[in-house]
Structure 1
Amino acid sequence: MRRPRPPRNRPPAPALNPGATDRGDRQVAGRSGQGLDWLNFFMSNVQTGFGPFIAVFLTAQAWTELEIGLALSVGAFVSMAMQVPAGALVDATPNKRFAAAAALLAIAASAILLVAWPETLPVMGSEVLHGFASCVLGPSIAAISLALVGRERLGERLGRNARFAAIGSGVAAGLLGAAGTWISGASVFWLTAALCIPALMALAAIRPADLRPPAPEKGEGGALRGLRDLLRNRAVLVFALCCGLFTLSNAAMLPLAGTQVTRNAGDEANLIIAACIIAPQLIMAAIAPGMGRLAESSGRRIVLLIGFAALPARGLLLMLVEGPAWLILVQALDGISAAGLGVMLPLLAADLTRGTNRFNLCTGLFGLAVGIGGTLSTTIAGLAAEWFGPGTAFAMLAGIGLLSVLTVWAAMPETREAAAR
């Protein structure tokens, strides 16, 4: 008796997420995936405009160093203080694309406000507006990524986000620097506001039908209850400590090295510092997707250890090297660290909030730890360099970096298996 033949046209197996594909580049879902790629690229363009260019522009407007420092401190404080509230706001907003669009428009408005009225109150208002909008934009893009590809493929998608953001930062640094040099200092911020237009176009290319946000558990409560539950989670607290130690070690390394370069290299210092910024971006763009794939295949802890281990190595090498070429090569190690933390921070937040609507709240909590570490880093390193010399300061930063590695190795649990369960 002959067995019946199976049907010729079998329906394809359902994908883990309707916005993802099963090809090698799984995290890209046609038009929506490409839109997310370009959103990260242009978002990074826009954010680069609010870096060192503000100090240059305000100096040309006859602002004193104290006034510039106060304005930048206001922006830094708002960015740090609003991490958790902004994360809760994005969680509560069902339309993440709208939240990202509103943040981009707010950043454009802050750039226009800064350049059109370079007076004390408008500049302070611009810094406050930009700080809060940035806290909304980052979690919104992470939430869109999660809804597009699902948790199972989030690692590689985050790596791709990091690649396009790194390329965007490098391109924007050159473009905005050229505009500020050959056109005017004000052109940097007009161009920054204009770059929000292609960012909004990229956001519009992400189709709502491709987004499938994870369904939260019933009765999980509001933001306050969610924050309380997160603070009771040992893994959340351990990784927040790791984030704080990471930026406590990392944030002051380049500024401290830049001080030494300025004293030794003279007029070439700006070129050397620019190379020290671009080199890590190139490394990050090259390795970030691979680190995302490694996190999915081999676990989160191995990627964390790789990224964090570059910190003490970089601190010790900066203590020893003197030549500009060596400094640039050593600073390139920052690309490994940036890729590790940039990919793993939202990925671990997704692991630790699986089944809930607290992904962005958790991301904001980690962002707060990052901000606290970065704020303390430059102050502590500056005091150590002034009292004991730059070599001691680099050794101290390397020691903090080693402590962050030991914390990951000894206390951070593997969350990939837990997420899978």
Structure 2
Amino acid sequence: MNFFTADVQTGFGAFVSLYLAELQWSQESVGFALTVGRISGVIGVIPAGALADSIRSKRGLAAAGLLMVGIAALLLALYPSFPFVLIAEALHGLTAGMLGPAIAAISLGLVGRRMMSLRVGRNHRYDAAGNALTAVVMGVLGKYFTSRAIFLTAAALVIPALIGLGRIRGDEIDYSRARNAGKGEKGPTVKSVMELRKNSDLLWFAGCLALFQLSDASMLPLVSERLGQSRLEFDSLLLSGLIAAPQLIVAFCSPWVGYCSELWGRKPLLLVGFGLEVIRGGIFSFISNSYLLTAVQILDGLSGAIISVLTVVIITDLTAGTGRFNLARGAVSMITGLAASVSTALSGLLWQRSSATTTFLSLAAVAVIATALLWYRMPETKPVQYAD
């Protein structure tokens, strides 16, 4: 399910802007459409997280999200007019908040906290493998056939994703465990939403991730822009390579991240992930060769494997016994999503008014602050002994 869900999602993002540009959309219109998708995604994550905690049918929530993605892909392929593209982007943004919590809830409900780090690592292995393979396939479709085929393929891939989802047995998903509820004498306990606001470690962790996204979210768009300004022809095939290369690293490393987090703890690995972002920004600020820029994207894969796996695992640790696992995950996703939106806007403005070197150095400086704050304020969250 993770593999084919990633396949479906890969058709969006960078390929949408390339597709709309080929249809002679203005930069303002493309930016507005992408902003609608981003805003709807940010708005939807908290309600979707709360829904994932409360609804018993986690598989039903995932199925609804997959169907919405399929509809969005068909709208883009068959009706690429302004109103239908906005509807498609809004639908896709909302599903991003549904699928992530649903998959996380299913995972936790199946294996519990004791095995969650290993399960999340395996999830991201198949997710990244799907991203990498489909990015290459869709790059080929866009280059040698038509960009419309990218979204038709994304819609078709909903079918095997639903088949994979159907093979998960609903009776094996423990409802209380899936929301990280505590165990009391009278049954599972669920804390109030206001209790999350008192969880200082969760708030600090969200702040660290927001700073990380403020640095990270602009890196690939800026690299793409620099490649586009070079002599190297920049098309859907090269873009797919920029997406696929880090994902291959994520696919290889993610299970090891989950495994090592049980051996060494969460914080040491998380510091490595944040530190790699500092190195990546520093290197980007001093090189302009197109092939070297692409090669440095490997660091994004290493950092992405660490951050993506440990974000879910640490939120699981910090919300143990609250019954608000997916709501907390949605809140953190909203904060990091807003930081990513601010990052792209500020970096573009800084690029125009200064230079590429200054922009990348500024992003690296933000990553330094995030790493220092993480080291100083975040405790080790791995429990000495798991309750389940």
Q: TM-score range by the shorter chain?
A: over 0.9
Q: Which residue of 2 aligns with 1:77?
A: 39
Say which one has the larger Rg: 1
**Distance of 1:122 and 1:281 partners within structure 2:** 30
Size of the aligned set, in residue pairs, is 379
Closer/same/farther in 2, CA of residues 419 and 122 from structure 1, 3 Å limit: farther
Q: Which residue of 2 aligns with 1:234?
A: 200
Is 2:351 the counterpart of 1:385? yes
Q: RMSD value over aligned CA atoms?
A: 1.8
**Distance of 1:60 and 1:264 partners within structure 2:** 20
Q: Which residue of 2 aligns with 1:311?
A: 277
Closer/same/farther in 2, CA of residues 281 and 198 from structure 1, 3 Å limit: same
Q: Deviations over 1:52-90 (max 9, x none)?
A: 222233234342222121111100111112111111111
| Amino acid corresponding to residue 43 of structure 1 in structure 2 | T
Contact conserved, 1:150 with 1:214, CA < 8 A, in 2? no
Is 2:97 the counterpart of 1:141? no
Counterpart among 92, 99, 118 of residue 80 in structure 2: 118
Q: Deviations over 1:299-336 (max 9, x none)?
A: 11012111111010111111122323322222110011
| Distance apart, 1:160 and its partner CA | 0.9
Once the two structures are superposed, the pairs formed by residues 17-416 of structure 1 within 5 Å of their partners are: 39-215=1-177, 216-217=181-182, 220=190, 225-226=192-193, 228-267=194-233, 272-416=238-382
Q: Which residue of 1 aligns with 2:185?
A: none
**Distance of 2:17 and 2:295 partners within structure 1:** 27
Contact conserved, 1:280 with 1:332, CA < 8 A, in 2? yes
| Distance apart, 1:133 and its partner CA | 1.4
| Amino acid corresponding to residue 171 of structure 2 in structure 1 | A
Closer/same/farther in 2, CA of residues 283 and 378 from structure 1, 3 Å limit: same
**Distance of 1:88 and 1:327 partners within structure 2:** 40
**Distance of 2:189 and 2:255 partners within structure 1:** 36
**Distance of 1:391 and 1:59 partners within structure 2:** 27
Contact conserved, 1:283 with 1:332, CA < 8 A, in 2? yes
Contact conserved, 2:117 with 2:261, CA < 8 A, in 1? yes
| Amino acid corresponding to residue 135 of structure 2 in structure 1 | A
Q: Deviations over 1:91-148 (max 9, x none)?
A: 1111101100111011111111222222222221111111111210011001111111
| Distance apart, 1:392 and its partner CA | 1.0
3-state SS in 1 of match to 2:233: helix
| Distance apart, 1:343 and its partner CA | 0.3
Q: Deviations over 1:3-33 (max 9, x none)?
A: xxxxxxxxxxxxxxxxxxxxxxxxxxxxxxx
Per mean C-alpha deviation after superposition, the further-off stretch among 183-192 and 95-104 is 183-192
When normalised by structure 2's length, the TM-score is: 0.93
Identity among equivalent pairs (%): 37
| Amino acid corresponding to residue 334 of structure 2 in structure 1 | L
**Distance of 1:357 and 1:381 partners within structure 2:** 38
| Amino acid corresponding to residue 328 of structure 1 in structure 2 | T
Contact conserved, 2:133 with 2:244, CA < 8 A, in 1? no
| Amino acid corresponding to residue 108 of structure 2 in structure 1 | L
**Distance of 1:355 and 1:52 partners within structure 2:** 39
Closer/same/farther in 2, CA of residues 155 and 219 from structure 1, 3 Å limit: closer
Is 2:386 the counterpart of 1:420? yes
| Amino acid corresponding to residue 250 of structure 2 in structure 1 | M
Contact conserved, 1:352 with 1:419, CA < 8 A, in 2? no
Contact conserved, 2:136 with 2:240, CA < 8 A, in 1? no
Q: Which residue of 2 aligns with 1:19?
A: none
Per mean C-alpha deviation after superposition, the further-off stretch among 157-166 and 260-269 is 260-269
| Amino acid corresponding to residue 142 of structure 2 in structure 1 | G
**Distance of 1:338 and 1:173 partners within structure 2:** 17
| Amino acid corresponding to residue 51 of structure 1 in structure 2 | G
Q: Which residue of 2 aligns with 1:17?
A: none
**Distance of 1:51 and 1:239 partners within structure 2:** 26
Contact conserved, 2:132 with 2:244, CA < 8 A, in 1? yes
Contact conserved, 1:288 with 1:340, CA < 8 A, in 2? yes
Contact conserved, 1:351 with 1:419, CA < 8 A, in 2? no
**Distance of 1:274 and 1:108 partners within structure 2:** 21
When normalised by structure 1's length, the TM-score is: 0.86
**Distance of 1:387 and 1:203 partners within structure 2:** 48
3-state SS in 2 of match to 1:63: coil
Where in structure 1 are there 5+ consecutive unaligned residues?
Answer: 1-38
Where in structure 2 are there 5+ consecutive unaligned residues?
Answer: 183-187
3-state SS in 2 of match to 1:72: helix
**Distance of 1:275 and 1:191 partners within structure 2:** 18
| Amino acid corresponding to residue 182 of structure 1 in structure 2 | Y
